[in-house]
Structures are given as structure tokens and as C-alpha cells.
Amino acid sequence: PPDTPADFSCHTQDMKIVTCTWNQGGDTYLYGRRSPKYTLSEEFSQKTVLCTVSCAEQCSCSWDIGQQRIFNITVTVENPLGKETAMDAFDVTHRIYPAAPFQLQEECTDTEITLYWKHQNKGIELFCQTEVLQPDGKIELRNSSNMHLHYGSIALGGLQPFTEYTLRVRCGAAKHFWIWSEWSETLTIRTKEASPSGKLDIWREITPVFGGRNVTLFWKQGSSFRTNGRIISYEVTWEKVDDGSEPESISISSVYNSTRISIDNHPCRISVMAKNYVGYSLPSVLIIPRDTGNSRSIFSIKELKEEQVNGTDDGIFISWEPRHTYDSYIIDWCNFPMLQPCDLQWKRFGPNTSSALINSAAFVPGVRYNFRIYGSVADAAFLLEKKTGYLRELPPLPDPTVEKVELSFNAVTLSWDSYSANESQPGFVRGYHVYVSPIEEDCNLKGSKKHVLPDDSVLCKYTIENPEERRYTVKHLLPNKKYKLAVKAYSGGGETPIINFIYIDTPLNSNMLYLVALLVIVPAVAAALCRWRLKWVKEHCCPVIPSPNKSKVLSFKEFKVRSLKI
């Protein structure tokens, strides 16, 4: 059998024609003469409704209302396998489904749009709703009952100047509301321009020069500032505060957000306004105090000691000591401190704030960022503190170069005086490590710590915690021995791996040579002297008695007397 007609419902758009719709259900796989047949009947009039049923995505059937207002409609679906019915009883005045509004038109000012549209539901009191799509994606619905015979309208106030809004309208019966009509086509409207509202956020950088100061002005659009149109220029005006001289002014193209002016050492009032085709914004004012030669707002930046601060994954945390004399605080920094211009940035904070997390998409590990904290009162700013830090420290580069080696038989002194630990380093240099080891041996020197390399060889490690110290003496070495040494700088980001060594040979111990001389040479010389002296004494005190046989006294010719040899 066929499926029961689903979602059977009837309505009217103009109180002249009733249309009933339903879903025909699943496929019965019966075609031709056996396909489902639909008929509609009305119970109160006991008549079959004369309408032509058409089925596409949904089945529908329409007929003239006539004078009848209350209906009880039955739809019957029948095929050779059976039939099913569905019913809908209704008062036609309660089933008004208006046609969608059309031909939307508008009139607008800088803050209001009046929207007009036409409708086909003449003689029916309608209640309409306008959807306002704002630039940030938020949707606002506004209701209207201001309907005329042929058209409707609504005044949409409280809008922003020079802003695009996308609008569409739908309507329902004001009496016995049943269902909204379909939405009209959308209409996108831009409100008219108005003078810029609010003030620009302005800041300055002051550089002392001969006879005065150069002031570089910066400006940006703060959260309370609205252009309300196309900005065509920025008007910069400056004048001395104390002598009533004529102000000077320049106009800067809208493509720029900074300019430089020159002033003398008198206090100066500077204002910046944004201009569009309608008018000007309110002036943003800065007071540059008098230069007294020691003005903390300008020239004493170097007198304040920089405090090191730590970075996190989310930014660099800055805190300062609050002072009750200021009505706001300003922190400025450079996004690219190694470049010129450095892309100066600034941020303002209220009087009850004493810390902030500064973040920027330009922040990268291994770059030192310098922050200056100012207190502001009566449009004048005064330098209070300086901070410096990294988003994340990296190991120092390059390694210290050992420039001088002083050797003794049991110690070596290394010097690296020219090593730079300034802000070009990718981390704060907090000290140095000196590594030493005998060649092809593990090290175990007194006063050192063991450091194991990736190849499992062991070095002796000495730590210098003062980054200003650039000289160190390694003691307790052995004489006449080969050693390898390395010096590494370390920061909060650690140190780079040990790759290069320097090699030394300790000399022999000179004290040992002296001892050898005393124990060997001196006794030998003394023995020689003693032998010579003994010979001399013997010759002079105990002379040798000559042999008579060798004496020349008896050296005469022999002769005989009576056969005797004389």
C-alpha cells in the first residue's frame, strides 16, 4: 500500500487561494495506471476539491477559497494495493503565509538607513522583520509594523558612519501569526561619511641636537577612534607654550603615520588631527617639556639602569613601580631593534596598572628588546624605568676567542678580553665555562666538576659567574704534559656544543732541575775538588823518596880492581 502523506498542511498568501502541500513518501515501484492517485475533499462542504495535484520534490494542490473560511481537508492517496489519508482542519485567516517582500530600496544618512520594500499581500495586515548583518559578522533583527497598501518601510538608526550593512526582510501576518515568509533578496548599503570621531593615539621620540631637539611623531588609530570615512591627511600643529608665538603646522598624507619636526629648548605643545572629506577629528595633544639639560623625559635615558626581564611563550612580562602622580603609563619598544627605522611601538595603561604582558607578532627568540616606561600627566610624559629582555634566550654566539695564554709547569692562565657581551648577543651572557682535559685521558683536577661529552670522554669544568671577568687560571696541572682547553660563554639559553679546543704543553718543573743539580752536579764537583786538593797536599807535605837506582849520582863508568867490579 502507499505511504500516508506526510507533513500535510494548507495555507494562503492572499486570502483568495488555498494551497495544500505534503510529502508523497517512499517509492511504491508502481507506474502508469497503477501509480498513486491523489484526491482532496472538504468535509464541511461535502465536496471534492477541484484542483490539479503536481508532485516534484513536494506535492501541492491549489484552489479558490470563495466565501468559506473554515476548512477540514482530507487528502487521499490510492493505488491497486490500498489507500491512505491525511487531514488538516484550519481557519484560513490563521494560515496566512505571506509572499516574500521584493524591490528593496533605501535612503540613508551617516547613522540611519530607511529601508522600503513592496509586498503582494494587499488587504492583509503584516508584521515584518529586518535582518541587519554588521561588518563584524553579528546579526541584529529589527521589527517593523509600518505597512502601507503597497509597500512597507523601517528606519534603522544607531548605525556607524561609512559602514557597509547587508539587509533583508521577511513578513508574517500581524493577526493570528502563523509563519514567516521567505526572506527577500539581500541589499548591501554603505552609510554616508561623517567627521572622524575620537582621538588619534599619538607618541613621540625625542633626539637632542645642537640648539634644540628633533621630535619624531607617531600616530595610530586607537580602539575609541573611528575614521567615519576616507582619511585624506593628518594635520600636525606645534607651538611654544610660554611665549605666545604663532603656531606652525604641516599636512601629512594619509599614507604616512609619522613625521619629524624640529623645536628649540622651550616647552612645546603638539597636536595631531585626522581629516576626511567631511571634517576633522578631535586634536590629540602632547606636551614636550622644557629642556633643562637634565630633563628626565629626554636626556637622562642613559642614567637609568636597565633591569632584565623574562619572556614567556605569550610575550615579555613588564612590571613597574606605580606612582600616584601620573594619570596613565606608556610603554614603548622597537619591534626590530637592529634596524632603522626600528618600527617603534607603544601601549598605554591606566593609572591603576603596574604590570603588562607585551606581545607582538614581530617578537622572535634570540633578539633583545628594550622597553621604556613613562608616566604621563597633563599630556606630558616622563621616563620612569627601563627594561630589557628576550622572548626566549638562545646560547651566546660566537665563542670567546682566547687571545693570551700564560703557562707555568702546573697552571695556565687564559684571557679573552675583547669578547663582547652586549645586546647583539642572542641571550644575556651570565658567565663563562672553562673546560680542560689531558690529551686522550679523562680529567680529574682538584676544584673542578666533571663534564661528559657525547663521546663519553670526561672534561674538567670550571664556572665563572661574573660576565665581566674575562681571565681565568686553571691550576693543579702536571708538568711536561699535553692538555686541551675550551672557553664557552653561557646565557639563560645555555651554551653551544664544544667543537674547537686549544692545545698546550706544560713545561718541565724548574725546581726539579735545581734539585737534580744539587743532588748530582754539586757532589761531583766537590769530589773533584777534594781529589785535586789531596794530591796537592801529598806533593807538598809527603814528597816521594827517589830510588837510588834512578839517581844520576851513581851514573859513572864501571871499572875493575883485581877482578872486582866497582
For every residue of 389-419, which 3-state class applies, written as one string?
EECCCCCCCCCCCCCEEEECCCCEEEECCCC
- Identify the weakest region by mean pLDDT among 294-303, 362-371, 408-417: 294-303
DSSP per-residue string spanning 285-300: EEEE----SS-TTTTT
End-to-end, the C-alpha distance of the chain in Å comes to 188
Gap between the Cα atoms of 258 and 264, Å rounded: 20
pLDDT for the residue numbered 42: 87
C-alpha 24 chain-centroid distance: 60
List the CATH code of the domain at 6-94: 2.60.40.10
Residue bearing cell 600627566: 377
| Element (DSSP H or E) covering residue 165 | strand 164-173
Helix (H) or strand (E) holding 515: helix 510-516
Q: Mean pLDDT across the stretch 252-276? A: 95
Residue 555 has pLDDT above 60, yes or no: no
Query: What's the pLDDT at 528?
Result: 72
Q: Which of 120-129, 385-394, 486-495, 509-518 has the lowest average pLDDT?
A: 509-518
Q: What is 102-190's CATH superfamily?
A: Immunoglobulins (2.60.40.10)
Q: In the CATH hierarchy, which fold is given to the domain comprising 402-506?
A: Immunoglobulin-like (2.60.40)
Mean pLDDT computed over 444-449: 89
**pLDDT computed for residue 509 by the predictor:** 74
Maximum distance among all Cα pairs of the chain, rounded to whole angstroms:
216
Give ranges for CATH 2.60.40.10 in the chain: 6-94, 102-190, 200-288, 307-390, 402-506
Give me the mean pLDDT over the 144-148 stretch.
73
Q: What is the pLDDT of residue 297?
A: 45
pTM flag (> 0.75): no
The bridge status of strand 431-438 relative to strand 449-452 is unpaired
Work out whether the CA dihedral 41, 42, 45, 49 comes out positive or negative.
Answer: negative
> Mean pLDDT, to the nearest integer, of 81-96?
89
Phi, psi of 512 (to 5 degrees): -65, -35
E strand or H helix that includes residue 514? helix 510-516
| Confidence check: pLDDT of 153 > 80 | yes
The CA distance from 356 to 371, in Å, is: 12
Q: Which three cell numbers stand for residue 560?
A: 875493575
The confidence band for 291, taking pLDDT boundaries of 50, 70 and 90, is confident
330/518: higher pLDDT = 330
Contact 113, 159 (CB under 8 A): yes
Q: Which of 38-52, 330-344, 504-518 has the lowest mean pLDDT?
A: 504-518
The CA distance from 178 to 113, in Å, is 29
- Mean pLDDT of the 532-536 span: 69
User: Distance from CA of residue 516 to its chain's centroid?
Assistant: 71
Confidence of residue 268 (pLDDT cuts 50, 70, 90): very high
pLDDT of residue 296: 47
Residue 391, exposed/middle/buried by CB under 10 A (0-12, 13-18, 19+)?
buried
**CA 194 – CA 189 distance, rounded (Å):** 16
- In whole angstroms, give the CA distance from residue 447 to residue 461: 9
**SS3 call for 172:** strand
Per-residue pLDDT band for 67 (boundaries 50, 70, 90) equals confident
Q: What is the mean pLDDT of residues 101-106?
A: 94
Report the range of poorest mean pLDDT among 116-125, 126-135, 152-161, 272-281.
116-125
Kindly list the strands in the beta sheet with 458-464, ordered across the sheet, starting from the edge strand earlier in the chain. 449-452, 458-464, 431-438, 482-490, 502-505
CATH architecture, domain 307-390: Sandwich (2.60)
Instruction: Give the pLDDT score at 83.
Output: 85
Is the peptide bond prior to 341 cis by the omega test (within 30 degrees of 0)? Answer: yes
From CA 61, how far away is CA 266, in angstroms rounded?
Answer: 89
Q: Whole-number mean pLDDT of the chain?
A: 87
Distances (CA, A) of 436 to 1, 12, 248, 408, 483: 98, 98, 68, 15, 7
How long a stretch of residues is the chain?
Answer: 566
Say yes or no: domain 200-288 is CATH 2.60.40.10: yes
For residues 176 and 15, what is the distance between their CA atoms, to the nearest angstrom? 13
Q: Which three cell numbers stand for residue 170?
A: 521577511
Buried b (16+ CB within 10 A) or exposed e, 228-244: bbebebbbbbbbbeeee
Contact (Cβ atoms closer than 8 angstroms) between residue 495 and residue 396: yes
For residues 279 and 499, what is the distance between their CA atoms, to the nearest angstrom?
67
Q: On the CB side of 242, how many CA atoms lie within 13 Å of its CA?
A: 7
Confidence class for position 512, pLDDT limits 50, 70, 90: low
C-alpha distances out from residue 252 to 236, 249, 257, Å: 8, 10, 8
Across 73-82, 140-149, 395-404, which has the greatest mean pLDDT? 395-404
> Which pLDDT score is estimated for 387?
96
Inter-residue contact 63 to 51 (CB < 8 Å): yes
**Which H/E stretch holds residue 6?**
strand 6-12
Q: Predicted confidence band at 496 (pLDDT cuts at 50, 70, 90)?
A: very high
Mean pLDDT is highest, among 53-67, 101-115, 523-537, for 101-115
pLDDT score for 531: 75
pLDDT tens, 170-206? 999 988 999 999 999 999 999 999 999 999 999 999 9
Residue with cell 516534484: 56
Instruction: State the Cα–Cα distance between residues 65 and 19, nearest whole angstrom.
Output: 10
CB contact at 8 A, 316 and 358: yes
- The residue that leads in pLDDT, 462 or 122, is 462
DSSP 3-state of 566: coil
pLDDT at 267: 93
Residues in Cβ contact with 321 at an 8 Å cutoff, skipping those fewer than 6 apart:
354, 384, 385
Backbone angles phi, psi at 290, to 5 degrees: -60, 145
- The residue ranges of DSSP E strands in 378-490, in sequence order, are 380-390, 404-407, 412-415, 431-438, 449-452, 458-464, 471-474, 482-490
User: Which whole-number Å values give the CA distances from 207 to 134, 167, 320, 323, 369, in the listed order?
Assistant: 45, 53, 25, 26, 20
Positive or negative CA dihedral for 170, 173, 177, 179?
negative
Separation of CA 324 from chain center: 31
Q: What is the mean pLDDT of residues 436-462?
A: 90
**Contact assessment for residue 337 and residue 327, using Cβ atoms and an 8 Å cutoff:** no
